[in-house]
Structure 1
């Protein structure tokens, strides 16, 4: 008699403008995780049975809604979208920004407040620049954060 199968771990990628898709494929492949790349336009993805491309409508927040409806405790969501991160954290998913920053119950509220403040400052003309450029250090931090998140989920799924 065999025991229950380990629940599948899925990495959902909010793919529009995501700079770390290749890193997701590399790390998820090493861990045997399923990857779902969600976008509102066609994107090339590697032809692997464990990588799925989902194209949603171009309606505002269609990709976010699709991901948020499926995110849960056995998922890692990769997004720079703070409102989406908040929805996924509430659903029990592990959420990472492309810079490797983890969104958690304790950090996502502050991230939303900061996002709203910066948006107000930009609208008022007080802030004219955007975020700093994505760097090799960010890429490295993301690789480590995704690896740790997948190890933790696998350990939790196996009862460890």
Structure 2
């Protein structure tokens, strides 16, 4: 990825908003890199590069962390990956439109750790809510806002 051209990099294994990402990327003429394990069959298309990695636990995260550039926009549900890409100067968004930043990522990582401890000790935790149409709209609005901001910054 060239540092002058931002890209949208997608942790694509469980990403429910792939179509929305591709649509926004086309409008803004931003290339998309979808990274998924071989367990997920994705088709490259115009403006969308697909990278398939092995199915081991962290392969997608490792690929993304090694190929993301400052200014890229990374779509992921993984707080650990979000932490890494933020440190590299990228923007991290959840598929529900939450922007991860230095103000919220520590809390999210701590909460994830606490929930994992509870599960290991036999406790139950709720999974994420089902994705709604409202969530998709929220994501599209946030991605559009970020892309618009990136465009304005490049013009100045």
Give the Cα–Cα distance (whole angstroms) in 2 for the partners of residues 58 and 69 of structure 1: 17
| SS of structure 1 residue aligned to 2:103 | helix
1:19-98 superposed matches below 5 A:
19-41=16-38, 42-45=40-43, 47-48=45-46, 50-98=47-95
C-alpha displacement of 1:46:
5.1
Which runs of no fewer than 5 residues in structure 1 stay unpaired?
Answer: 1-5
8 Å contact kept, 1:90–1:105? no
- Note the alpha carbon deviations across 1:3-42, whole angstroms, 9 max, x for none: xxx9212000000011000000000110000000000114
Aligned length: 153
| Contact 2:77/2:94 (8 A) holds in 1 | yes
Secondary structure of 2:149 counterpart: helix
Equivalent pair of 1:71/1:92 in contact (CA under 8 Å): no
CA–CA separation in structure 2 for the residues paired with 1:57 and 1:155: 38
Q: What is the TM-score with the length of structure 2 in the denominator?
A: 0.91
Q: Please state whether the residue corresponding to 2:5 is helix, strand or coil.
A: coil
Moved over 3 A (4+): none
Tell me, which stretches of 5 or more residues in structure 2 are unaligned? Answer: none
Task: Pick from 114, 119, 124 the counterpart of residue 116 of structure 2.
Answer: 119
- Structure 1 length as normaliser, TM-score? 0.89
Instruction: Show the counterpart of 2:140.
Output: 143
Whole-angstrom distance in 2 between the partners of 1:156 and 1:119: 40
- What SS does the aligned partner of 1:37 have? strand
User: C-alpha offsets along residues 56-89 of structure 1, whole Å, 9 cap, x if unaligned?
Assistant: 1222211101111122322000000110000001
RMSD: 1.5
